[in-house]
Amino acid sequence: MANEANNPALPAGRFQEIISHCKEYGYIFQSSEIYDGLSAVYDYGQMGAQLKKNLRDYWWKSMTQIHDNIVGIDAAIFMHPTTWKASGHVDNFSDPMIDNKDSNKRYRVDHLIEGFAEEQLAMSKEELAKEVLASMDLLIAKDDFAGLKKLIEDNKIKCGISKTCNWTDVRQFNLMFSTQIGSLAEEADTIYLRPETAQGIFVNYLNVQKSGRLKLPFGIAQTGKAFRNEIVARQFIFRMREFEQMEMQFFIRPGTQMQWFNYWKEERKKWHESIGIPAEKLRYHDHVKLAHYADAALDIEFEFPFGWKELEGIHSRTDFDLKQHELFSKKKLQYFDNDLNEEGKPYGNYTPYVVETSVGLDRLFLTVISLAYKNESWKKEDGSDDSRVVLKIPPMLAPYKLAILPLLKKDGLPEIAKQIMDDCKADFYCFYEEKDSIGKRYRRMDAIGTPFCVTIDHQTKEDNTVTIRYRDSMTQERIAIADVKRLVMEKIAF
């Protein structure tokens, strides 16, 4: 049977294989590639767009359909510029950067130091790596920029291009993209491309609560594009300048935030496991430095091919955002808590607290693809070698669910195949293919991750059965045409 050359922790050197595979099979292309691309911006192709939609739909359903106290909205990307003043993004949404004076290359300080620590690890200098990272965490937590520069200089951390230690001071660099709204004639205003979807939820909190007659605790979910002018944009779709977030803000009574923080921490990890991510490839990472709005925060990290990195953030945002919007808009964004009276406490108007779950759709995509990608090889019965590249994407997420393959292009086999296609295509995505040998067609379906193939042959004409082939085990069995649709539907149910 097949030997999995690539287990989930794909060696970093083979990450490039996944990137090439994504391009070759229509999953992901570099943006505007014919003009040599745009750094850290990517387009999803015909396969990728469908996988991304399936992930988004599953998240949306899990949040808004399964939880009867969570509703979904779709706020605009452009927002009144004061939103970002109130949220703190204009003043605080920045990363410490440092420039090398010889190469003029700009680095995010944490990335520069992490890169140095990785090099030390590769040279088995574990103690030094740990020590440097621990010092960095402390200095970042204190916003000690002079200390960060000293750490870089003391360890003689060099620029990858000039190979010198000739550094500028450490400075803050705002990550928001700005543009102008309105024509010049009518005094154009600077506005920002949203760096997170969350603020669209906060400014709509009262609209949704009132129009939906929602009672605390309740959540508002949203998926959509976010934009950050990442300085060191790298690792394929892990860190992009335009990306998609799936966020949910859960509005709660003040004082209950740790209870809900722990609830969502568990819930979200379970959700990731429900899409086939092995529990041992996920871990929690508590934040050392809390963002200006949080009283507790952690990341759910996944072991990407290039190491453990953040996949999702869970933040207890207190009443910071709503209070700030009250302050800047001069509108009350409070909740009238009727239930308090029933509990024997006086009625109360208060600003709700919020626990946020925020996952990057592109990072989730990368997680699924890097787990799914396998390069398998095995010995055939006659002793010869065989191999394949397969995307073992969970059936419920795979772009195409069923390939329908007439063995020959004649003898009425395509007609039967098209009938099966007509019967199934309203319920799930089917791929019809009559070219090439059946072996080649199976390999192509493996490469794009289609979990089931049915082959129509001469026996089909006699007994109305087809061969179904399972992608993961490569086993085959004969089943009645009448059972095909039900079988696939059972396996792909959300």
Positions that interact with ligand ATP (CB under 6 A): 196, 228, 230, 239-240, 243, 245, 310-313, 358-360, 362-363
Decide whether 239 or 392 has the Cβ nearer to ligand ATP. 239
Phi, psi of 356 (to 5 degrees): -110, 140
Decide whether 316 or 358 has the Cβ nearer to ligand ATP. 358
Name the minimum Å distance from CB 315 to ligand ATP.
7
H/E segment holding residue 97: strand 94-99
Name the minimum Å distance from CB 196 to ligand ATP.
6
Name the minimum Å distance from CB 55 to ligand ATP.
12
Decide whether 224 or 449 has the Cβ nearer to ligand ATP. 224
Decide whether 143 or 422 has the Cβ nearer to ligand ATP. 143
Decide whether 89 or 401 has the Cβ nearer to ligand ATP. 89
Q: Which residue is nearest to ligand ATP (CB)?
A: 360
Return d(Cα 187, Cα 462) in angstroms, integer. 76
Amino acid 218 reads F
CB 173 within 8 A of CB 97: yes
Evaluate the CA torsion angle 441, 446, 449, 450 in order and state its sign: positive
The CA–CA distances, whole Å, from 42 to 111, 163, 241, 344, 429 equal 22, 30, 9, 56, 24
Assigned token pair, 479 = 């089943």
Place of tokens 């089909």: 460
- Compute, in degrees rounded to 10, the torsion defined by CA atoms 250, 256, 258, 264: -30
Decide whether 253 or 363 has the Cβ nearer to ligand ATP. 363
Name the minimum Å distance from CB 228 to ligand ATP.
5
Q: Please write down the long-range contacts of 82-85, taking CB distance under 8 Å and 24 or more positions apart.
A: 82/328, 82/329, 83/199, 83/203, 83/325, 84/176, 84/192, 84/195, 84/199, 85/328
Name the minimum Å distance from CB 90 to ligand ATP.
16
Decide whether 226 or 466 has the Cβ nearer to ligand ATP. 226
Q: Which residues pair with 379 in a beta bridge?
A: 385
Name the minimum Å distance from CB 170 to ligand ATP.
17
In 253-408, the DSSP E strands lie at: 282-286, 296-304, 307-318, 335-337, 348-350, 353-360, 373-379, 385-391, 402-406
Name the minimum Å distance from CB 320 to ligand ATP.
15
Any residues with CB less than 8 A from the CB of 57 and at least 6 apart, and which?
Answer: 494
Name the minimum Å distance from CB 252 to ligand ATP.
19
Q: DSSP assignment of 190-213, as one string?
A: EEEB-S-SHHHHHTTHHHHHHHTT
Angle at 412 between CA 406 and CA 416, to 5 degrees: 60
Assigned token pair, 39 = 């750094």
Decide whether 118 or 423 has the Cβ nearer to ligand ATP. 118
Name the minimum Å distance from CB 8 to ligand ATP.
19
Place of tokens 């063995």: 407
Decide whether 235 or 450 has the Cβ nearer to ligand ATP. 235
